[in-house]
Amino acid sequence: MTELATRAQAFGLIAEGVAAGLSAPWRVYLARGCRYLSLSVGDRAEWNAWRTHLGCPELSVRVYDAGGEIRRSSVAEVVLDGCRISVELVEEVSTDDLDRLLVADPSSVEPEER
């Protein structure tokens, strides 16, 4: 890594976020020998907070079947000082969640229709 050259610097970046009031990620992965740091968080609020803290503008969302369970993986990435940093959230979703994606304005659906 260029500026984030050591584990101490990479984990210092995470410590700054926690010190600023963010929840600690439940998993941190720092790849050995390459410029990649990955944070996994527990819920959407934590994911948005870390994205904002790190300034992650890029976003990808993937919905997939995981052995009968439907999951949504949301990933935001940013490159800081030559190091690619990603913040990932994996959530279980129901078919109701998927049905709402098909509605142009989810707020217009009556509660009994959901």
Residue 27 lies in a domain: yes
Q: What pLDDT, in 10s, does the model give residues 19-64?
A: 999 988 888 887 766 678 889 999 989 999 999 998 887 788 888 7
Distance CA 12, CA 108 (A): 45
List the alpha helices (DSSP H) in 1-114: 7-19, 44-54, 95-101
Residue 86 lies in a domain: yes
Report if pTM > 0.75.
Answer: no
Read out DSSP for 69-80? EEEEEEEEEEEE
Residue 48 and residue 88 in contact, taking contact as beta carbons nearer than 8 Å: no
Residue 79 lies in a domain: yes
- Range of 94's domain? 7-113
Residue 82 lies in a domain: yes
For the chain, how far is it from start to end, CA to CA, in angstroms? 48
State both tokens at 63: 């919905």
Q: Which of the two residues, 98 and 9, has the higher pLDDT score?
A: 9
Residue 108 lies in a domain: yes
- The structural domain count of the chain equals 1
Residue 2 lies in a domain: no
